[in-house]
Structure 1
C-alpha cells in the first residue's frame, strides 16, 4: 500500500480558522528551532526540495519530512527561500522578546535606563521587521535608516513623556506602564516606515491559483495595519499584567531579600506570556490576506484596469490574495 505523500506547499492545519492558524504558528515559531545549526537547516531545505520531486533518500520517514518542513518554514523567508538571520526570525521572538521586555519592565525608574532599553528594543524590532518584510518590495538603506531612527525617536519621546507625566500626576504603578506605551507608539511608526515601499508602490495580489494579476496599495495598508496590531497584542499581556503583579510581590520581605533576582524573574514570566502570545498574535489574521476586487476598483482604478487585462476571458475574481508579512 502506497504511503500518502505530503504536500509541502500546504500547511498541516486549516488556516481558515483561528485554531488552525494558532497550531501552525506555535509549530513554526517553536523557539527550540533557533538552536538548529545552519548546516542542519540547509539539509532540511535540500530534503524538502528532493521530496517535492520525489527524489528523497529511500526509507525517509513521514516524521522526518514533517520536521524538515518545520525547520524550513521557521528559518527561511517564504518569498525568497533565503536563510533568515536567526535573531530576526519569528521563532526568536520568545527568547529575544523575553530578555528585552523583562529588562524594560525591570529598569524603568531612571531616564537613562528607559532610553537605553527602548533603543535596544527598537533595534531588535527593526531587525525582525526587515527579516520578515514582503521581499517583493525592496527597501533602500535610506528608507531602513529613516524607519529605524523614526521608530526609536517615537519610542523614546513617548517613554520620556509618559514617565515625566505619570511620575508627577499619577499613581507610582503607572510608571511601570511606560515601556508598553513606548513600544505601542514605536510599532505604529516602525512597521509602516519599514514597509513604506509597499504602501507607495503596492503589493502583488494574486488569484486563488497564485497568479499575480496586479498590485494594490490598499492591500499593503491593510496588511501592515494587521501586522502592527498583532505586534502590539503580542507584547500586551506581559507588559500590562506583570507590572501590578511585580508591584505587589515587591512589597513582601522575601522579595526584598532577593532583589538581584527580580530581573530574571520578570524575564522568565515574560517568556511564559510570549510562548503563548507569539502564535496567538500571528494567528489573529490569515497570513494569506484577502482584498475585495470591488475595493481595488473603487480606490485604485488604474490597478483595476491592469487586473482586467491580466484576467483570461475577462473573468475578474471577487477576491484577490497577498502575503501580509509577519
Structure 2
C-alpha cells in the first residue's frame, strides 16, 4: 500500500475476488456499496460484510486508518491515495461502514454496531430461553435484552440530529419499561387457567413473542425524535432537500419488520429442540448443560450469523418514497424548487 497506508491491515474483513492490477477503475463510487443495492443478493452481500463479527476484533488504529482513507477519498472527490489497490479500498470502506455512523460520521459504540449482533444476541437469547420459568429471571433478562436493543436502536438511528441527555434518558426508560412490561404480561398469560396446564413448550415461545412485541415499542421510542422532527431526505445524488416525518415512519416500520424476522430463526426453532433435549437423560442428570446446548443450537441454525445480514437486506438501507407520500408542506416546497423530482431517498437506519 501507498504512503499513510502501511498500517491498514484489513485481513479480518472478507476478501473479494477481483483482479488486482494496481490501477483502480475510474468509476469507483465510494459513497455507495460495492454491490448492486437494487437486488436482494447485492444487499445481502453488502450486509454480510458490514455485520461480520470479526470486525469487532479490529483495532482502533485499523479503524482510524480506514476512516482516513475513506475521508480522504471523499474530500478529494475520487482521488485515490497512491498504491492503494481496489480490494484495499473496498475493505477500508467496509471497515468504515461497520464502525462509523453513515449520517454523523461518529464512531459507534462497540456493542451497538451491527457486527456485535451475533455474539451479543446469541448470549442473551440463550439466557432468555433457559431462564424463563420465574418472574425475576424473565424480568432480568428482558431488561438486559431491551437495554441492549435500546443501545443498538439509538446507535443505528437515521439522521444526524442529536438527542439531549434528557431525551435519551426518557426514551431509554420508556422503551425498556414498555418492552419489559409486555414480556412479563405475556409470561403471566402462560400461568393462568386454562393455560397453566399446557405444555412447557408454550412457555419457551414467550421470549420470542415478547421480543417481537417489544421491538414494536423499543424501536419507535428510541427513535422518537425522528418521528417528531423527521429525517433528512435527499435526491438521487445525495443533495439534502429537507426533513420528513413520513420518511421516518416508513424507515422505522421497515426496521421493526426486519428486527422481528431477525430474531425468529434463533427463538422459534430452538424451543422445539430444547424441549426434546430436556427429556433426555443427560440433561436431566446435568441441567447445567442446557444453556451451552441452547447456545450451540442457536449457532447451528445460523440464527444470527445468517439471519442478521439477510434480514438487514430485506429493505435497501438507502430507502426511497414517492414525493406525493411526503408531508404537504414539504411536497409544496419540492414542487417549487424541484418540479421534476419524483422520489426522495433517505437512510432508514438498521
TM over 0.5, yes or no? yes
Alignment counterpart, residue 277 of structure 1, candidates 274, 299, 307: 307
> Where does residue 95 of structure 1 map in the other structure?
119
- With normalisation by structure 1, the TM-score equals 0.92
How many angstroms apart in 1 are the aligned matches of 2:155 and 2:231? 17
Q: CA deviation at 1:88?
A: 0.5
| Native 8 Å contact 2:175 2:222 kept in 1 | no
Which one of 280, 298, 320 corresponds to residue 252 of structure 1? 280
Q: 1:159 to 1:49 in 2, by over 3 A?
A: closer
Asked if 1:204 is matched to 2:228, the reply is no
Partner of 1:266: 294
CA distance in 1: counterparts of 2:296 and 2:337, whole angstroms: 52
CA displacement, residues 179-216 of structure 1 (integer Å, 9 cap, x when unaligned): 11221222111111111111111222111111122322
Deviation at 1:51, TM superposition (A): 4.3
Task: Assess if the C-alpha contact under 8 Å between 2:266 and 2:298 holds in 1.
Answer: yes
Shift of 1:277: 0.4
Q: 1:163 aligns with which of 156, 178, 187?
A: 187
Corresponding position of 1:310 = 337
Give the TM-score normalised by structure 2.
Answer: 0.86
Q: Specify the SS of the correspondent of 1:135.
A: coil
The alignment's C-alpha RMSD in Å is: 1.7
Q: Distance in 1 between matches of 2:180 and 2:145?
A: 11
* Equivalent-residue separation in structure 1 for 2:298 and 2:36 (angstroms): 29
Partner of 2:17: none
Partner Cα distance (2:348, 2:303) in 1: 24
Partner of 1:135: 159
For 1:292, the equivalent position in structure 2 comes to 322
| Alpha-carbon distance, 1:225 to partner | 0.7
Q: Which moved more, 1:43-52 or 1:211-220?
A: 43-52
Query: What are structure 2's unaligned runs of at least 5 residues?
Result: 1-20
> Match for residue 65 of structure 1?
89
Partners in 2 of 1:158 and 1:55 — Cα distance? 52
Tell me the distance in 1 between the aligned counterparts of 2:58 and 2:264.
29
Gaps of 5+ in 1: none
Deviations 1:2-24 (A, max 9, x none): 44253322211111111111111
Task: Name the CA distance, whole Å, in 1 between partners of 2:217 and 2:67.
Answer: 35
Is 1:178 the counterpart of 2:203? The answer is no
Query: 1:55: how far off?
Result: 5.1
Count of residue pairs brought into register by the alignment = 319
User: What is the SS of the residue equivalent to 1:167?
Assistant: coil
Q: Tell me, what secondary structure is at the counterpart of 1:205? A: strand
Deviation, 1:290, is 1.0
1:124 to 115, 135, 148: 148
8 A contact 2:183–2:214 mirrored in 1 = no
> 1 CA distance for matches of 2:220 and 2:156?
13
Separation (CA, whole Å) in 2 of partners of 1:117 and 1:284: 28
Instruction: Give the C-alpha shift of residue 146 in structure 1.
Output: 2.4
Structure 1 residue 138: deviation in Å?
2.4
**8 Å Cα contact 1:133/1:325 also seen in 2:** yes
Question: Residue 4 of structure 1 is aligned with which of 7, 14, 25?
Answer: 25
Alpha-carbon deviation of 1:38?
Answer: 1.1
